[in-house]
Amino acid sequence: MILRAPRSMQGRLFALSLLATLVALLIAAWGIAGVLERFVVAGIDQRLDAEIALLASAVDGDGRIDRTRIEARRGVMQSGGGWRWRIETPRGAMGSTDLPALADGPPGPPGLHGPRDDRRDGPDGPDGEPRAIDGQTEQGVRLHARRYTIATAAGPVTITAAAPRRVIARPIRDAIVPLLIVLAMLGIVLTLAAWVQLRLGLRPLRQLQGAVAAIRAGRADRVDEDQPTELRPLAAELNALAADNEAALASARMAAANLAHALKTPVATLALAVRDDPERARQVARIDATIRHHLGRARDGHAGARVVTPLAPAVAALVHVVERLHAGRDVTIDAAIPADLAVRLDAHDLDEIVGNLIDNAARHAKSAVRIVAAREDRMVRLSVIDDGPGIAAADRQRATDPGVRLDERGDGHGFGLAIVRDLVALHGGGLSLDEAPGGGLAVTVTIPAALS
Amino acid sequence: MRILLVEDDADLGPAIARALRAEHFAVDLATDGIDGAHLGETELFDAAVLDLGLPGKDGVTVLGEWRRAGRTMPVLILTAREAWSDKVAGFKAGADDYMVKPFRVEELVMRLRALVRRAAGHAAARVTCGPLAFETQTGQFELDGMPLKLTAFEWRVLSALMLRKEAVIERLDLLERVYEGDADVDSNSLEVIVGRLRRKIGATMIETVRGRGYRLTASVAA
CA angle at A413 for the pair A407 and A415, rounded to the nearest 5°: 35
Compare B44 and A166 and report the one with higher pLDDT: B44
Quote the pLDDT of residue A118: 42
Nearest residue on chain B to A358, judged by CA atoms? B84
**Amino acid identity for residue A448 in this structure:** P
Is the Cβ pair B12, A327 closer than 8 Å?
Answer: no
Quote the pLDDT of residue A67: 79
- List chain B residues with CB under 8 Å of A284: 102
Is the Cβ pair A299, B97 closer than 8 Å?
Answer: no
Do A25 and A185 form a contact (C-beta atoms < 8 A)?
no
Cα–Cα dist B218/B209, whole Å: 15
Instruction: Enumerate the H helices of B122-170 as residue ranges.
Output: 152-163
**pTM, entire model:** 0.58
Which class in CATH covers the domain with range B126-216? mainly alpha
B9 touches chain A (CB under 8 A): yes
Residue A451, classed as helix, strand or coil, is coil
Torsion of CA B195, B201, B207, B211, to 10 degrees: -30
Is the Cβ pair B98, A325 closer than 8 Å?
Answer: yes
Residue B135, classed as helix, strand or coil, is strand
Cα–Cα dist A193/A39, whole Å: 34
A288 touches chain B (CB under 8 A): yes
Separation in Å, CA of A285 to nearest CA in chain B:
8
Q: Provide φ and ψ at A44, rounded to 5°.
A: -65, -45
The CATH code belonging to domain B2-119 is 3.40.50.2300
Cα–Cα dist A256/A292, whole Å: 11
For chain B, give the mean pLDDT: 91
Facing B114 at nearest CB: one of A295, A299, A328: A328
Nearest residue on chain A to B92, judged by CA atoms? A317
Cα–Cα dist B93/B167, whole Å: 31
Domain-wise residue ranges, chain B: 2-119, 126-216
Candidates B5, B31, B85, B100, partner chain A, best to mutate (most A CBs within 10 A) = B85
Segment B107-155, tens digit of pLDDT: 999 999 999 999 999 988 899 999 999 999 899 999 999 999 999 999 9
Nearest residue on chain A to B83, judged by CA atoms? A352
- List chain B residues with CB under 8 Å of A268: 12, 80, 101-103
Q: How many other CB atoms are there within 10 angstroms of residue B129's CB atom?
A: 18
List the strands of the sheet with A142-152, edge to edge: A92-95, A84-89, A155-164, A142-152, A131-136
**Amino acid identity for residue B90 in this structure:** G
Contacts of residues A134-141 at CB distance under 8 Å and 24 or more positions apart, as own/partner, are A134/A165, A135/A102, A135/A111, A136/A111, A136/A112, A137/A98, A137/A99, A137/A101, A137/A102, A137/A111, A138/A98, A138/A101, A138/A110, A138/A111, A139/A98, A141/A82, A141/A165
B88 touches chain A (CB under 8 A): yes
Q: How many other CB atoms are there within 10 angstroms of residue A226's CB atom?
A: 8
Cα–Cα dist A320/B91, whole Å: 8
- List chain A residues with CB under 8 Å of B82: 292, 295
Cα–Cα dist A30/A21, whole Å: 14
A119 touches chain B (CB under 8 A): no
Residue A95, classed as helix, strand or coil, is strand
Do A159 and A56 form a contact (C-beta atoms < 8 A)?
yes
Is the Cβ pair A327, B19 closer than 8 Å?
Answer: no
A104 CB-contact burial (10 Å; exposed 0-12 / middle 13-18 / buried 19+) = middle
Separation in Å, CA of B153 to nearest CA in chain A:
25
- List chain A residues with CB under 8 Å of B80: 261, 264-265, 268
Quote the pLDDT of residue A409: 43
Facing B101 at nearest CB: one of A268, A275, A327: A268
Task: Kindly indicate whether the ipTM for this predicted assembly is greater than 0.85, answering yes or no.
Answer: no
- List chain B residues with CB under 8 Å of A270: 102
Do B69 and B46 form a contact (C-beta atoms < 8 A)?
no
B119 touches chain A (CB under 8 A): no
- List chain A residues with CB under 8 Å of B12: 265, 268-269, 272
Cα–Cα dist B44/B63, whole Å: 15
List the strands of the sheet with B75-79, edge to edge: B26-30, B2-6, B47-50, B75-79, B97-100
A273 touches chain B (CB under 8 A): yes
A80 CB-contact burial (10 Å; exposed 0-12 / middle 13-18 / buried 19+) = exposed
Q: Judge whether residue B221 has pLDDT over 60.
A: no
Segment B155-200, tens digit of pLDDT: 999 999 999 999 999 998 999 889 888 777 776 788 899 999 999 9
Do A148 and A158 form a contact (C-beta atoms < 8 A)?
yes
pLDDT tens per residue across all 452 residues of chain A: 566 767 788 888 889 999 999 999 999 988 988 898 888 888 888 888 888 888 888 887 777 788 787 777 776 666 666 788 888 888 777 777 666 555 444 433 333 333 344 443 334 444 567 778 777 776 777 788 888 888 888 888 888 888 888 888 888 888 888 888 998 999 999 999 999 998 888 888 888 888 888 877 667 778 888 888 888 898 889 889 888 888 887 787 778 777 877 787 788 888 888 878 888 887 887 787 777 777 766 665 554 445 788 999 999 999 999 998 888 788 999 999 999 999 988 888 899 899 999 998 998 899 999 999 999 888 999 999 999 888 888 777 776 655 454 444 444 445 577 778 878 877 788 888 888 887 889 999 999 888 76
Is the Cβ pair B114, A325 closer than 8 Å?
Answer: no
Separation in Å, CA of B27 to nearest CA in chain A:
17
